[in-house]
Structure 1
Amino acid sequence: MKKKFSTKDIFLIALSILALTVLIFIIIHSEKKQQEEREKLAAAMQQEESGEDDGSLYAGSPKALMINEVNQSGWVELYNCEKEDLDISGIAVLVNGEKKAELTKHTRLDAGKFLTLDLDEKLGEGKENLLSLVKADGTCIQSWIVPKLTENESYGRVADGDISMGYLNATKGEANEPAEKKEKEQLEFSVPSGFYDSAFPLTISAPDHTEIYYTTDGTVPTEKSEKYTAPVTIENRSGSDYIYADSDGIGYEHNFKPASIQKGTVIRAVYVDEDGRRSEEKIRSYYVGVGGSSDLNNMPVLSVTADPLDLFDYFTGMYVSGQSYEDALARGEGKDNRKANYRNGWVKKAHIEFFESGKDMTYEGDVNLSMLTDMNITSPQKGFSAQITGSGRWEGSSLERFLDKTEKTLTIQTNKYDNAYKIRELTANKLLEETSVGTNILMPCVVFINGENWGGYMLRAPFTREFIEEQYGITGEEVVTVRNGSADQKEFQSLYDEFYNFVTGSDMSDTSKYEIVKQEMDIRSYLDYFCANMYLANAQYGQEEACIWRTVSSENGGYADGRWRWVLGSMDMTMDNGTTGPVSTASINTLLQPGVTEDAFFQSLLGSGEFRQQLKESMYRMADDIFPKEKAEAIVNETAHKIQKMAVSSYKRFFGNVKDDFYADEVDKILHFFNNRSKYMLHYTDEMIK
């Protein structure tokens, strides 16, 4: 006998079908949205690769408007190498970063014509000058490093608009070809370091009765090296014919060997006179046919030249595990990466050249190079510290803001625990722009070593007085900075110690004590610092470098009020970064980590009811105003658009091919983090406050 369905059964069946339909719709809609985001990101990347732009003056190489000639007396000649007139309104000329001339509105330059501008400043006197053409919106069109010049001497293109450069008699407002070329009693290259579209012959000149010797593999030239007898052909050398990226026999900790890499030509040259005296060495780097590659497009480049024996040799190379590692094995100490060449603290001589995102060189100089002993020291891609030893100047170069001017050091760092994707710290900085906490100043760049692509790195501005001036606009004030409890100037250590000891040693339930704290520190800055770390699930909170600062004087207002303020530390282990396990997920309670529960400073402040209320308000502001889903999604996608090609190329360089959605999957994971984080973090905050 057939069982009849009751009204209740029919209702439950209908309800189940409805619920299943809704679930299917949600899944399809979610998949469709994710696919749309991926297509949007792919379209943006395709547009970037195609070189499409907004119709601005400079859309790539060759440049329409060129610096054609500069003269020691203080004028610069511009040249329109196009077949059509150019509107050059608002173009400014900068010398070492300072504006010296600016073109008025409605200024045009006819095709094939010249325009000279007087700068009211002599060029090439003493040290080199960095000369730049900049559009009204700040975009750099072209930069030149002007060498030392004698009185009324010119330096410019041998032929108008050409890549060959030289010293010449002045041809102000006229063609350069007829000008008399001046030979210098020094080693000279006919073409400066740079990125070029096609192959060209490079001429190297030296004083009479000398012999020129050169190398193309980064090794130091000697009289046993190639003798210069004819122009050297500079061409695209990318492919499988590389040397140092080969993992065989040079001490890497894995055996991956890339099928091909981007490669340039590094020329190291000297001349030797009849008495056997050797000249000062000169280094020039050339990259042909790679500047427009998608992973290099709009990316600065740092070219490092060093004797390969100093980097990759088994006995003397500081980049490899080498003899130190195997000596430890021989002594029966086991496989211990703490015993390796790269742990020895060696310092080696090197030369760096920095190219802006438009691929013009704006700095070069000699450095003392050493290894960064951070978490990636055992990885195939390691970081460096470069201490400037040469006399080159960096004013006006983008590199300037990343140099510690006191120590004259540059940190060339991997992206730590986010090195595969390189997205998290850039995203955090952008999202926190509207808060009162200081953020790291970062610049992604691609590094080449001896002409070979060494992947994507991140330049990080040091936490110094200059950093504070840029972040907060503090000028004319004495500033004290404190890192991990240590003041940069010992005479101000007591300022910090007294402040810290008062907070940790006082009962903050006493409102009078908390009132004193509010006079000593910017509560908003601290709460933005703390809540940003908690909300973004920083698994390294309490372990990363903590940085705070204040002006010594408290007599002025604004940021010069003498109150302590906070700057974010490392933010790479955030936003569901699974590199070291599930410690930064959207659901994790970061308030329980030891960096919080064992922090005497924070735990003391929790004693204040006013502070607890401010903490709650700050966390809710993070959820509602700083990290809302729509804002986070836009900035994550914007950052991915900027960094993806470089990051994926860098990963493939060291670890091999990846699946097509390698990067898109990580972007989706970060978006999922922001879509879900608020409900967990606000719950944990409310729970702690209670």
Structure 2
Amino acid sequence: MTRKKTLILIFILLFIVLGLSFIGRRGIARRSPLTITEICACNKNAAYDDNGDYGADYIEIYNSSDEPVSLLGWGLTDSRKDLFKYTFGDITVEPGQAVIAWSSPCIDDTSLYRDDYVPSDIHDIPFKISKGEVCILTSPNEKYVQRLPIPYDLPDNKCYASCLDDLGRYNITSATPYYVEETFIPEKKEILEAPSFSIKGGWYDGDVVVTLDAPKGDIYYSLNGSVPDAESYKYEGPITISNRTQEPNIWSAMGDIATANTYIPDFPVDKGTVLKAVAITDNGTSEIVSQTYFVGLDSYGYDGISIMSVSMDPDDLFGYEKGIYVQGKVKDIYGEKMDLDPFEYIYDYCNYGKEGRGWERPVNIEFFSEDHHKVFEQKAGIRIHGGFSIGQNQKSFNLYSRAEYDGHEYFKYDFFKGNGNGYSKVVLRTGGSNDLFVTKQRDVFCQSLVADRDVGIQRAIPCALFLNGEYWGMYFIQEGIGESYIHEHYGIDEDNVIIVKNNEVSTDDPEDLKLYNDLVDYISTNDMAVDSNYRYVEDKIDIQSLIDYYITEIYVANGDAFSNNLALWRAKNPTGDKYGDGKWRWLLYDLDESCAMITELTNASIDSFIEGHWEISPLNGDKLFSSIIKNEEFKERFVSSFIEMTEKNFQYESVHEKLSILSAKCKDADIKSQERFRGDFVVSSYEPGEDFTPPYSEDDYNADIAVIDDFFKERASYITNYMKNDLGLSD
């Protein structure tokens, strides 16, 4: 009997404890006007803050009352011993609205804020939001308002959140910062087998009839790249796919995508059909699968080049909040804070100007060879690529192969026929911010001329891109500079690579960047004419790689180099391999502003030893070269290499032949691309384009190629004499 009473008493006590816990978690929140409604404890790409940056964890606080509530004196903490690790200032939360407390710092220059701007986001929360710990909201009178335990099993990028119809009760959900859901919609738990296609994607002369099949569930599909769901077309029988080109443009008609050239085509662009399908039941859904069909298209602009089809959720591309191709919400966020010149919107102040893993979106790619046979398909990640060029209507992309997308760390196809280890990153490149609307070829062509030298180049092949089924112009698929590039070319383990690119380091370790900066400081502050100083530097640098880099940039008159677009690498921990010696080696990229692309600054007669587009040149402002050239051994080696490369790599007849081959291959594709994107845009500082009259024609193209050809025809006599004079050489 005593044992029975004891068990009853224990049961009652447990019931009371659970009840108090329930009240502490739910009831108190109901009595307070403020409630924690969402916590994200590992935000990789779930939501971005009021700077447009992902990565910061956050706490959402919601005002459920009918009156405004000031946060002045309220506290946030993760410790019962210190209830005010963070104390709020005088920020008002309006009825039915929420504010976000972020773990990230405020990176704005607040002196630029408008006088009437009142920040609504809170930054610099001084504690980590950790899984398995508690988050406590405290009122100004030092009383608990809410003590919310964070689940140990909260997945990355998921939130512990409440909803309006059951405030104070929590579930694991997707992130919805600033917005409290009305109710929870249970996620479908069953994972169904994806639909199969009777005919795979490809290039077809006539109509294609495709049947779909799935072992379980109803099949829903879309034909324009959009994401199918239960509101899409329901599959009832075979689907006939025809040429869709004359249908109205959807994605090609999107505005809000550019700051510089904002032209939108006023004609129907070529269209493939991206057939996407999904199987759905009441309790389950399948992976979305797709195939792209090119039916009945004119071959003009596609002959002899590859085709890349990229399909993705249109919201990930053009959506206001998370679309990577638009000015979007980030522009409006900054527009509310401060007055900015439109030029400044190009970079950090638009969706398409944001960087980092959080702005990477999932895509499905299908690749077709030069004879238009489908070679492979793969799920990957995509980001916007570039600097100033991101403000143009045709943008470049980075593509990433990651195990998280489909289990593959590298792309399943060798685009460049190197028979090497494979790439985790490639670039879909338009041609930079200026040559984008001319030949698109300067960068890849100039790099190809020095493929046999000791400077790294990015191999490339031309392709036509279709984005969600609509023609998106000519691109070059190009090697992307990264750890997999170094592994492919030099055999160094990816986790043993340091890459410095524009004064940023791939390892995110400031000490690795300091290795290079300290070396440059040493070179510039010590007399390189002293043999022992030079020998020290020779032990740290692959001298021939440095020489080949400077010669290439000088010879092609790249006006966007030395202080910008600078990349080099080394093995972090030296090994016994040929390239594992820990020496710095140089890499070429972004040679677009070369070969008379900027008429007054990059023409054949320019002295690139002392003149430069960015007011820095090898002998005028460049600390490394202007110091090391004082060493006679280095100078002799530089001059010898310069003459050798002039007579071999840049010999006009050889260059002319190579340019003729590449330009012939790309001619129709480039003209078609310019018709799609250029409009009446005048390329700044490019003399042949000043009198341009649209549409871009074959005559325009031939004239633009002739500019490059003439540059190399004339360059040797000018630059060789400049070298002799500037380096103080006697005949």
- 1:616 counterpart = 2:639: yes
Instruction: Write the letter of the residue equivalent to 1:460.
Output: Q
Match of 1:352 among 365, 369, 389: 365
> How many angstroms does 1:576 deviate by?
0.8
Asked whether the 8 Å contact 2:430–2:436 carries over to 1, the reply is: yes
1:281 aligns with 2:288: yes
1:237 shift after superposition: 1.8
Q: Which residue does 1:526 correspond to in 2?
A: 546
Q: Does 1:630 align with 2:653?
A: yes
Distance 1:547 1:247, change over 3 A: closer
**Could you tell me which of 205, 220, 240 is aligned with 1:233?**
240
1:189 offset after TM fit, Å?
A: 1.0
Conserved in 1, the CA contact under 8 Å of 2:202 and 2:294?
A: yes
Paired residue type of 2:220? Y
* Equivalent residue pairs, number: 501
Shift of residue 538 of structure 1? 0.7
Q: Deviations over 1:291-313 (max 9, x none)?
A: x7242223232212223333334
Call closer, same or farther: CA 1:660–1:299 in 2, change over 3 Å: closer
508, 517, 523: which one pairs with 1:503? 523
How far 1:229 sits from its partner (Å)?
1.0
In 2, the alpha carbon distance for the partners of 1:480 and 1:327 equals: 35
Cα distance change, pair 447–492 in 1 and its aligned pair in 2 (3 A): same
Alpha-carbon deviation of 1:424? 1.1
Find 1:566's aligned residue among 586, 594, 599.
586
Structure 2 contact 263–678 (Cα < 8 Å) conserved:
no
Q: In 1, distance between residues paired with 2:642 and 2:590?
A: 20
Note the C-alpha offset of 1:504: 2.5
In structure 2, give the amino acid aligned to 1:430: S
Residue 411 of structure 1 deviates from its aligned partner by 3.5
Q: What secondary structure does 2:677 align onto?
A: helix
C-alpha distance in structure 1 between counterparts of 2:354 and 2:634, whole Å: 47
C-alpha distance 233-347 of structure 1, shift in aligned 2 (>3 A): same
Q: Which runs of 5+ in 2 are unaligned?
A: 1-191, 680-694
Q: Secondary structure at the match of 1:524?
A: helix
In structure 2, relative to structure 1, the CA distance for the partners of 1:607 and 1:662 (3 Å cut) is same
- Asked if the contact 2:263–2:393 (Cα under 8 Å) also holds between the matched residues in 1, the reply is no
The answer to whether the 8 A contact 1:258-1:654 is kept is no
Contact 1:401 1:461 in 2 (8 A): no
CA shift digits 1:130-153 (9 cap, x unpaired): xxxxxxxxxxxxxxxxxxxxxxxx
1:342 aligns with 2:352: yes
- For residue 493 of structure 1, report the CA deviation from its aligned partner: 5.4
CA distance change for structure 1 residues 383 and 480 in 2, over 3 Å: closer, same or farther? closer
Answer yes or no: is 1:675 the counterpart of 2:698.
Answer: no
Instruction: Give deviations 1:564-592, integer Å, cap 9, x for gaps.
Output: 322223211111113xx521100111112
Matched, 1:189 2:208: no
Q: Which residue of 2 aligns with 1:245?
A: 252
| Counterpart selection for 1:203 from 211, 216, 226 | 211
| Partner of residue 406, structure 2 | 391
Q: 2:724 aligns with which of 683, 686, 689?
A: 686
SS of the aligned residue for 1:544 comes to coil
Q: 1:669 to 1:395 in 2, by over 3 A?
A: closer
- Matches of 1:466 and 1:332 in 2, distance apart? 40
| Superimposed CA distance per residue, residues 231-288 of structure 1 (whole angstroms, 9 cap, x where no aligned partner) | 0001222235322212568778634424232211111212223x35333222221112
Within the alignment, does 1:598 sit opposite 2:621 as a pair? yes
- Tell me whether 1:380 sits opposite 2:393 in the alignment: yes
Q: 1 CA distance for matches of 2:539 and 2:337?
A: 59
Deviation at 1:289, TM superposition (A): 3.0
The aligned residue for residue 167 of structure 2 is: none
Aligned equivalent of 1:269: 277
Alignment match, 1:645 = 668
Residue 311 of structure 2 is aligned with which of 293, 305, 322? 305
CA distance in 2, matches of 1:557, 1:271: 52
Using the TM superposition, give the Cα deviation of residue 219 of structure 1 relative to its aligned residue in structure 2, in angstroms.
1.9
Q: Which residue of 2 aligns with 1:260?
A: 268
1:633 CA drift (Å): 0.8
Cα drift, residue 475 of structure 1: 8.1
How far is the alpha carbon of 1:505 from its aligned partner?
A: 2.8
Does 2:681 match 1:665?
A: no
Match 2:463 to one of 434, 445, 453: 445
TM-score by length of 1: 0.65
Distance 1:327 1:493 in 2: 33
Q: 1:455 to 1:327 in 2, by over 3 A?
A: same
Supply the AA of the counterpart residue of 1:603: S
| Aligned residue number for residue 296 of structure 1 | 302
CA distance in 2, matches of 1:452, 1:385: 19
Per-residue CA distance 1:465-488 (angstroms, 9 max, x = gap) = 442344346689955443345554
1:185 deviates by 5.9
Deviation at 1:602, TM superposition (A): 1.0
Q: Are residues 1:513 and 2:533 paired?
A: yes
Q: CA deviation at 1:342?
A: 3.0
The equivalent position to 1:544 in structure 2, one of 541, 564, 578, is 564
Measure the CA separation in 2 of the matches of 1:545 and 1:327: 30
Tell me whether 477-486 or 507-516 shows the greater mean CA deviation.
477-486
1:79 matched residue in structure 2: none
> Partner amino acid for 1:582?
E
The 3-state SS of whatever aligns with 1:419 is helix
Cα distance in 1 for partners of 2:290, 2:577 equals 50
How far, CA to CA, are the matches of 2:583 and 2:194 in structure 1?
55
Query: Secondary structure, in 3 states, of the residue corresponding to 2:391?
Result: coil
Match status 1:371 vs 2:388: no
Contact 1:363 1:399 in 2 (8 A): no
The offset of 1:549, in angstroms, is 3.1
CA–CA distance in 2 between the matches of 1:317 and 1:555? 43
Q: Distance in 2 between matches of 1:328 and 1:550?
A: 39
Residue pair 2:416, 2:461 contacting (<8 A) in 1 also: no
- State the one-letter code of the partner of 2:435: D
For residue 604 of structure 1, report the CA deviation from its aligned partner.
1.2
1:538-576 CA distances to partner (integer Å, 9 max, x unpaired)? 101123332223446777575455543222232111111
Q: Partners of 1:566 and 1:401 in 2: how far apart? A: 23
Q: How much has 1:658 moved relative to structure 2?
A: 1.5
1:298 and 1:432 mapped to 2: Cα distance?
Answer: 25
2:220 aligned to 213, 222, 227, which one? 213
Deviates more, 1:305-314 or 1:554-563: 554-563
Deviations 1:410-456, CA, capped at 9 Å, x for gaps: 44332113213121122212211232222122233222111001112
What is the one-letter code of the residue matched to 2:406?
S
Q: Secondary structure at the match of 1:574?
A: coil
Alignment-derived partner of residue 429 in structure 1: 447
> What pairs with 1:579-598 in structure 2 (closer than 5 Å)?
581-592=599-610, 593=612, 594-596=616-618, 597-598=620-621
